[in-house]
Structure 1
Amino acid sequence: MSVEKILWQEDATGLAALVNKGDISPVELVDAAISRAAKTAHDINAIAEKLFDQARGRAAAVDRRLPLAGVPFAIKDLGIAMKGVPIHSGSKVPVSVADFDSVLTDRYLAAGLVPIATSTTPEHGLRLVTESAAFGITRNPWNTGHVTGGSSGGAAALVAAGVVPVAHASDGGGSIRVPAACNGLVGLKTSRGRIPMSPLASEGWYGFVVNHAVTRSVRDSALLLDLTYGPDNLAPYAARPPHGSFAAAAARDPGKLKLAVYRKSPLGLDISAETLKALDAAVALARDGGHSVEEIDLPFIGRGFMMDFVTCVASAVAGALRSESERVGRPVGGEIERATRVVGRFGELVSGGAVYAALERLSATSRQLMTHTAAYDAVLMPVLAHPPLKCGAMDPTGADDFLENMLDKLHLTPLLKVKALLGQLMDKSLWFTHWPAIQNVSGQPSIALPVHITADGLPLGIQAAGRHGDEETLLSLAAQMEKLSGWRERRAPLQVPA
């Protein structure tokens, strides 16, 4: 069997085992990943920066005894530093180049992973599809006419296409779980404070943003978490430590769990029949595993909650654009995309008091959510309201395009203080995916699982949200569902190796 076929077929844990045994070399694996990256580049357009020469050097020198020795990897082009590697953040604004590695990068390298590229992201991670003026459209390996999700869409495309078996990702409003759900992958959004963001940042979006990965298997997600979690001296807080290893949790039977299922849209928007089929598939798998599943409602998670989330994100974007202007020494408004500019301007209009009040309301609702669901080991709910969309489907058209253009050109952003108008724009931004921001606000872990394939052959995952700090239960449940379903063996049909 060719090395490319092995790379395409195995998960990271399996590849590392082959390296550890001496059956395959890190250089062979990395060369195969680089070759596959070239073969699929036109189809998926998922790479921001090629790190091929550095990767070959690392592969030649890596200690084969390391837990993920020689495994090809990708790092997202946003929110993480790798010494000497340009960070575009999905934007046309001049790049920044760090002279240090993030703590998380150090942990990846210490595990033996070999980054071969940085992966594409929408500008500043704002869209839940990976389409940008800077890099164009990143496409879904299951059907390249469809989106790969966002904002970790490049990471998910590279994993689903068999270029790398696991890739770094981050999640501030669903940006790990949405691409995982679109691409038939496992995507764990970790508990707040589980993985440090230092020294590049202390936190992102008021603590909404977390880092982890998109993976082919549950065991890969668990092992990588074992190798990267934990406090750092510069991190302001940390999630409570697990009872044991995450890998051990993924390997054990979860026992009989008490689960809930939440079916409603917090925005009150349409949910596709395919999404409900996916949720039913997850419920059926859970019941096959011996778990009880109870239907629940979360009436306090509604449009007001989502409006507060959007308001806080807008203020964070305004701050980020200020920082970018200070970094490059001039205003960057002319170099960013229209939608980013509008969001940033709205964020500038929101007072500090209004943002603080919104955060207080979000915190109060989060406490209510955790109290309401405390009796359940996990809550199943959708990630996507619709199957993966056709590329370009999230672009504003007609009246929406006219409105956004007028808000931008005529500097009419103050109109967004009218709740009805802001709500209209919120719905246009989030109609594809209504749920993931809930856990970004509450800080709870949530794992996207590839439970369903639509009639058109597209993946459509759902998520299981757990108690704060309890990734172990989620990983144990997810691994059992993975075994029952056989989804780990599924691969996208793009450029299948002979």
Structure 2
Amino acid sequence: MLKLSRRAMLAGSAAAVALAACSRAPKEEVADAPAARTVPTYADGTAMAAGIAAGETTALEQVEAAVARANAVEPRINAIVTETFEVARSDAAGLLSGAFAGVPSFIKDLIDWRGAPTLAGSRGLAGHIATEDNPFARKWRGAGIVSLGKSATPEAGLISSTEPLSNGPTRNPWDVSRFPGGSSGGAAALVAARVVPFAHASDGGGSIRIPASTCGVFGLKPSRDRLPYSELGNAPPLQISVNHAVTISVRDSIALFRAAEANDGAYPPLGETAPLKRRLRIGFAPEPTTGTPLHPDTRAATEAAAQLCRDLGHTVIDFTMPIDGVKLTDAFLLYWAAGAGQFAQQVAAFSGKPIGPEIVEPWTLGLGGMAARRIGDLPAAIGYLLAFESVYHAMFGSLDVILSPVTGSPAVPIGDQAPDADYDTLMERVLGFASYTAPMNVAGAASMSVPLAWSPSGLPIGAMFSGRKGDDALLFELALELEAARPWADRKPPVSAT
């Protein structure tokens, strides 16, 4: 017996209605066929949603346009792990509601989206299909967002690159010989290449801000527990990871934040936001607390961001973070490694195979091995990290915001942080590149990368503005002011679908 898909049934029903209408109308009363609609122009998600709501375009038209854009650039950037285009078409033809009803996007392949694979960048999870939505994904589905598939991530999101052995390297649209950062590298590459206006991203140690910086898009890491992350009861000793998005426009990030808020009373609702009016005291902290080198292009870009803030009337104060970066990094890395070890165990249980290079990557194995060797140090490390929150927030006694680099350099070449590189060499490279972002994860603080500069060779370099836990609205208002002062939306990479 022939089985019709939902899309085919919808199309068939529409055709039947149209035929019935024609059979009832006299021939001379049949109106001229409407003119063919043009392909929707690319816009941010707020504008797309408004156009759909006004009847100027449809969700299906927007999905088809986004699929065409994805097909145009994907062979060059390799940012999509799983395409769910047919499901997206079916969803777009149905009834959608919410702030972003009908707007196409991608879900990072670290969280479950019902009916789609969740592979977490791992060969050992092949065949895993999500049976229900992650709590954050439920918020996005409730907002009417249409997922086109899953975006690339390194294995378990464990590294600042996106070069999983399962899918091959994702490439930066600004220079395809370089990586897009990680772990939300696929998401940032797709947004930078103007495939979709925004994409889901998550940040456990910089994974929203790092790829936002290297791909020239906007990325805010929310405060801890401000947006849903995982099911209640599964919380680790210290929740360092958060969900949100990378976007072209700041207003999309704000609206997405508002649509996904936990609303559990821990924070007041975000409410309305506007470009910042009051002037801030901004601590300018360009030096890495770990003593690693800072690339001259990144230093120049961060200094330019500080000067822009001065030009806007903010008070910028030279500042040195009073923290032991080496000790913090060691504790954070051990906690991170323990997570890698747990992930390897989960993959082994799913695959039915022993932990080894057949199912998990060398980088994951190396981290897990370090955690096993230092398991006795883990309780003290967790205690240190828990105590760090008060240390971090004490830095804001006379400051409103801290300005620092996002990474130690612009995007590096593909292979520089490949997960099968020599472990010790790779560790040195990762720590040198991603030495700025983890403190905000440990403290649960709001932090964002704003695309304010490009290197002389044309690589984006974000500026990181960080506040206290709960300062999300303040950062959004500052971002709106910076966006108005130095717009970036019209600056597109060489690999762009528009």
1: CA distance, partners of 2:294 / 2:448: 20
Change (3 A) 1:362 1:198: closer
CA contact (8 A) 1:4 1:36 kept: no
1:38 Cα deviation after fit: 0.9
Deviations 1:163-210 (Å, cap 9, x if unpaired)? 111000011111000000011111111111111223397346831111
Structure 2 counterpart of 1:86, from 102, 113, 117: 117
2:77 corresponds in structure 1 to: 44
The alpha-carbon distance between structure 1 residues 160 and 62, as it changes in their structure 2 partners (threshold 3 A), is farther
1:493 is aligned to 494
Residue 222 of structure 1 is matched in structure 2 by 254
1:121 and 2:153 correspond: yes
Q: 1:125 to 1:296 in 2, by over 3 A?
A: same
| Structure 1 Cα separation of the partners of residues 39 and 294 of structure 2 | 39
1:71-110 equivalences under 5 Å are 71-78=103-110, 80-95=111-126, 96-110=128-142
Superposed CA RMSD in Å reads 2.1
**How far did 1:15 drift?**
1.2
Which of 53, 61, 65 pairs up with 1:32? Answer: 65
Contact kept in structure 2, 1:102 and 1:200, CA below 8 Å = no
What corresponds to 1:195 in structure 2?
227
Q: Structure 1 residue 344 and structure 2 residue 368: aligned?
A: yes
> Could you say which residue in structure 1 is the equivalent of 2:19?
none
Distance in 2 separating the partners of 1:395 and 1:428: 10
Aligned CA distance change for structure 1 residues 320 and 200 (closer, same or farther; 3 Å): farther
Tell me the residue number matched to 2:471: 470
Deviations for 1:203-259, whole angstroms, at most 9, x for unmatched residues? 468311111110001111110000001156xxxxx74224x41xx22x243311121
C-alpha distance in structure 2 between counterparts of 1:43 and 1:425, whole Å: 25
The alpha-carbon distance between structure 1 residues 253 and 94, as it changes in their structure 2 partners (threshold 3 A), is: closer
- Equivalence map 1:237-252=2 (5 Å): 239-242=266-269, 244-245=270-271, 248-249=272-273, 251-252=274-275
Shift of 1:374: 3.3
Aligned residue-pair number: 461
1:436 and 2:431 correspond? no
* Contact in 1 for aligned 2:40/2:57 (Cα 8 Å): no
Structure number with bigger Rg = 2
Question: Is it true that 1:300 corresponds to 2:323 in the alignment?
Answer: yes
Q: Which residue of 1 aligns with 2:10?
A: none
Paired residues of 1:239 and 1:469 also in contact (CA < 8 A): no
Question: 1:407-422, aligned counterparts within 5 Å?
Answer: none
Partner of 2:410: 387
> Following the alignment from structure 1 to structure 2, what is the Cα–Cα distance between the partners of residues 94 and 137?
18
Distance 2:184 2:235 in 1: 18
Match of 2:312 in 1: 289
Are 1:15 and 2:13 an aligned pair? no
- Does the CA-based 8 Å contact 2:347-2:359 persist in structure 1? no
- Mapped to 1, the partners of 2:497 and 2:37 lie a distance apart of 12
Q: How does 1:169-184 map to 2 (within 5 A)?
A: 169-184=201-216
Q: Distance in 2 between matches of 1:117 and 1:466?
A: 33
Does the Cα contact within 8 Å between 1:182 and 1:460 map onto a contact in 2? yes
Counterparts in 2 of 1:239 and 1:436: CA distance versus 1, 3 Å? farther
Alignment pair present for 1:253 and 2:285? no
Alignment correspondent of 1:160: 192
TM-score, normalising length from structure 1? Answer: 0.88
Deviating more after overlay: 369-378 vs 11-20: 369-378
- Letter of the structure 2 residue corresponding to residue 136 of structure 1: G
The verdict on how the C-alpha distance between 1:130 and 1:239 changes in structure 2, with shifts beyond 3 A counting, is farther
1:376-434 per-position Cα deviation (integer Å, ceiling 9, x unaligned):
2211111011111111122489xx73xx4xxxxxxxxxxxxxxxx8xx76433221221
Cα distance per residue 1:109-166 (max 9 Å; x no partner): 1111110010000111111110011000101111111110000000001111111110
Cα distance in 2 for residues equivalent to 1:221 and 1:169: 11
Secondary structure at the aligned position of 1:487 is classed as coil
Q: How does 1:369-408 map to 2 (within 5 A)?
A: 369-395=392-418, 401=422, 404=423
Alpha-carbon spacing, 1:384–1:479, altered in 2? closer, same or farther (3 Å): same
Residue 149 (str. 1) matches residue 150 (str. 2): no
Provide the residue aligned with 2:289 in structure 1. 266
Instruction: Indicate conservation of the 8 Å contact 1:47/1:120, yes or no.
Output: yes
Q: Please state whether the residue corresponding to 1:6 is helix, strand or coil.
A: coil
C-alpha distance in 2, partners of 1:377/1:34? 42
In 2 relative to 1, CA 26–270 (structure 1 residues): closer, same or farther, beyond 3 Å? same
Are the structure 2 counterparts of residues 284 and 92 from structure 1 closer, same or farther at C-alpha, using a change threshold of 3 Å? same
Distance 2:37 2:300 in 1: 38
**SS of structure 2 residue aligned to 1:145:** coil
What CA distance in whole angstroms lies between the structure 2 residues aligned with 1:201 and 1:49? Answer: 29
Q: Which amino acid aligns with 2:88?
A: A
Q: Distance in 2 between matches of 1:100 and 1:20?
A: 28
The change in CA–CA distance for 1:200 and 1:92 in structure 2 (over 3 A counts) is farther
Other-structure match for 2:428 = 427
Q: Is the partner of 2:102 in helix, strand or coil? A: coil
Cα distance, 1:441 vs structure 2: 0.8
Instruction: Work out the CA distance in 1 between the residues paired with 2:51 and 2:325.
Output: 49
- Structure 1 ranges of 4+ moved more than 4 A: 1-5
Relative to the length of structure 2, the TM-score reads: 0.88
CA distance in 2, matches of 1:200, 1:97: 21
Q: Provide, for residues 350-399 of structure 1, a one-character-per-residue CA deviation record: whole Å limited to 9, x for no partner.
A: 22x521211211232331121122332211111011111111122489xx
- How far apart in 1 are the matches of 2:208 and 2:342? 23
Partner of 2:41: 6
1:458 corresponds to:
459
CA–CA separation in structure 2 for the residues paired with 1:99 and 1:496: 33
Offset at residue 101 of structure 1 (A): 1.1
Secondary structure class of the residue paired with 1:143: coil
Q: Which amino acid aligns with 1:339?
A: W
Q: Helix, strand or coil: the match of 1:276?
A: helix
C-alpha separation between the residues in 2 aligned to 1:388 and 1:478? Answer: 22
Conserved? CA contact 1:73–1:165, under 8 Å: yes
**1:136 and 2:168 matched:** yes
Q: Residue 49 of structure 2: SS of its match in structure 1?
A: helix
Letter in 2 for 1:289: L
SS of structure 1 residue aligned to 2:489: helix
What letter corresponds to residue 338 of structure 2 in structure 1? S
Contact persistence 1:11–1:217 (CA under 8 A): yes
Distance 1:281 1:396 in 2: 34
- Identity among equivalent pairs (%): 36
- Which residue type is aligned with residue 119 of structure 2? H
Amino acid at match of 1:348: A
Query: For the structure 1 residues 239 and 141, does the alpha-carbon distance in structure 2 shift closer, same or farther, using more than 3 Å as the test?
Result: farther
Change (3 A) 1:116 1:396: closer
